């Protein structure tokens, strides 16, 4: 007889709440890595306008490079195959989780390990960067709200680093 496996998230389900800061696990979501030399092929396939400027976001899609996008969508969302079109679509939903860092101290806490000047990081912007030595994708959704996409295997370390920074 086999046992049923249940996924356990690598960070606590209860949010960390400190002075001027809240760090929590975002709801599960679908993630797709999209690659295409011509964004028009993806626009045709997905029926949405692709952001073309690196760092721009539009309709849940972040432009991470000249031919690379990250699509984040609600759980259960499916996108059609790119068969026949010069595109690459890879479901990376299980690779990463998202930590929500919000509150008046959110930029300060993230700057404890991120080299970007988050005071100049515009709302609606997204980028691949690092926190200390770990790669993250950082999205700024509001003046005091960031989403941090982190690989699942690094998530416990990231949770500890962020909550430790929040204590100081």
For the segment 11-23, what is each residue's pLDDT rounded down to a tens digit? 999 999 999 999 9
Query: What pLDDT does 1 receive?
Result: 57
- If you write DSSP's letter for every residue of the chain in order, what string do you get? -PPPP----SS-SSPEEETTEEEEEPPPEEEEEEEESSHHHHHHHHSSPPP-STT-EETTEEEEETTEEEEEEETT------TTSSEEEEE-TTTEEEEEEESTTHHHHHTTT--S-GGGS-TT-EEEEEETTEEEEEEEEETTEEEEEEEGGGHHHHHHHHHHHHH-
Do 99 and 78 lie in one domain? The reply is no
Least confident among 15-24, 83-92, 141-150: 83-92
Query: What pLDDT does 168 receive?
Result: 80
Residue 57: which domain range?
30-91
- The percent of residues in the chain predicted with pLDDT above 90, rounded, is 77
The yes-or-no verdict on residue 125 having pLDDT over 60 is yes
Q: What is the mean pLDDT of residues 110-114?
A: 97
**Boundary-marking domain end, from 91, 115, 140:** 91
**Boundary-marking domain end, from 76, 91, 106:** 91
Do 130 and 118 lie in one domain? The reply is yes
**Boundary-marking domain end, from 57, 75, 91:** 91
Q: How many domains does the chain have?
A: 2
Do 23 and 98 lie in one domain? The reply is yes
What is the average pLDDT value for the chain, to the nearest integer? 92
CA angle in degrees (0–180, nearest 5) for 119-121-122 = 110
Do 53 and 127 lie in one domain? The reply is no
Query: What pLDDT does 3 receive?
Result: 74
Do 79 and 116 lie in one domain? The reply is no
Do 73 and 108 lie in one domain? The reply is no
**Residue at 98 is within a domain:** yes
Q: What is the mean pLDDT of residues 134-163?
A: 97
Do 107 and 49 lie in one domain? The reply is no
**Residue at 21 is within a domain:** yes
**Residue at 121 is within a domain:** yes
Which residues on neighbouring strands pair with residue 147, listed in sequence order?
100, 139
């Amino acid at each position: 007889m086999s046992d049923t496996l249940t996924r356990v998230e690598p960070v606590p389900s209860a949010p960390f709440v400190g002075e001027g800061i809240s760090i929590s696990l975002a709801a599960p979501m679908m993630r797709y890595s999209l690659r295409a030399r011509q964004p028009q092929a993806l626009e045709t396939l997905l029926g949405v306008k692709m952001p073309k400027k690196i760092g721009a976001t539009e309709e849940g899609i972040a432009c991470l490079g000249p031919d690379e996008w990250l699509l984040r969508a609600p759980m259960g969302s499916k996108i059609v195959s790119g068969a026949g079109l010069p595109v690459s679509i890879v479901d990376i939903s299980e690779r990463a989780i998202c930590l929500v860092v919000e509150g008046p101290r959110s930029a300060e806490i993230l700057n404890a390990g991120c080299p970007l000047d988050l005071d100049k990081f515009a709302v609606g912007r997204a980028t691949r960067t690092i926190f200390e030595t770990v790669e993250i994708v950082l999205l700024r959704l509001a003046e005091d709200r960031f989403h941090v996409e982190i690989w699942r295997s690094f998530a416990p370390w990231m949770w500890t680093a962020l909550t430790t920074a929040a204590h100081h």
